[in-house]
Amino acid sequence: MWWKAWSGKGTVSKILSEKLGYEIISIWDMKRKLAKEMWINIHEFNLLWEKPENAKEFDLKYEEYQQNLDLNSDIILDSRLWFYAQPNAFKILLDVSEEIAWERIYKAERETDRQETLQAAIEEVHNRNKADFERYLKLYDIDLRDQQNYDLVIDTGDKTPDQVADIILNEMKKRQNAS
């Protein structure tokens, strides 16, 4: 599963995990844990991650980890490189407008992502998405915005996390029945 910042991916992943009994493997949780261990916030961590000299240490390490996962295992991989590292997996993009993402990040209770002002939230979402798009284009020649990279694209802006999870579950059932 890939997402734009604040598209609801974490909540939807938890719902799917509970309904399917799948394990969630989150690259963002790994990043937050590393940031905390380094005594920096997630924004500072992302700035380090974006530096070209850190690409091998960060992105390529995560890519290798993802490529070595068993495609037949019951996991939800929360990652931007999932479709690239596991091309035969069921690949989902959760999309959301930056305006809705701004509202979500501003209202968030997360210690590592909380923004003090709406303007800071706006800048955070825009900069985070832009940096991710540019980094993956440069490192992998991949345009994360190209919807052809995904099997299912869902705009979460007007849907609850339960509705998004139901859409995913229905699509999974269709695919299972077709095979």
Instruction: State what percent of residues in the chain have pLDDT above 90.
Output: 18
Q: Does this model's pTM top 0.85?
A: no
pLDDT range class, residue 152, cuts 50, 70, 90: very high
Q: DSSP letters along 36-76, please?
A: HHTT--HHHHHHHHHSGGGTIIIIIHHHHHHHTS-TTS-EE
* Among the ranges given (25-39, 64-78, 79-93, 101-115), the one the predictor scored with the smallest mean pLDDT: 101-115
pLDDT score at 146: 85
CATH of the domain at 74: 3.40.50.300
Q: What is the residue range of 99's domain?
A: 2-178
Domain count for the chain? 1
Q: Would you tell me the crossing angle of helices 42-50 and 118-140 to the nearest 10 degrees? A: 30
How much is the pLDDT for 165? 96
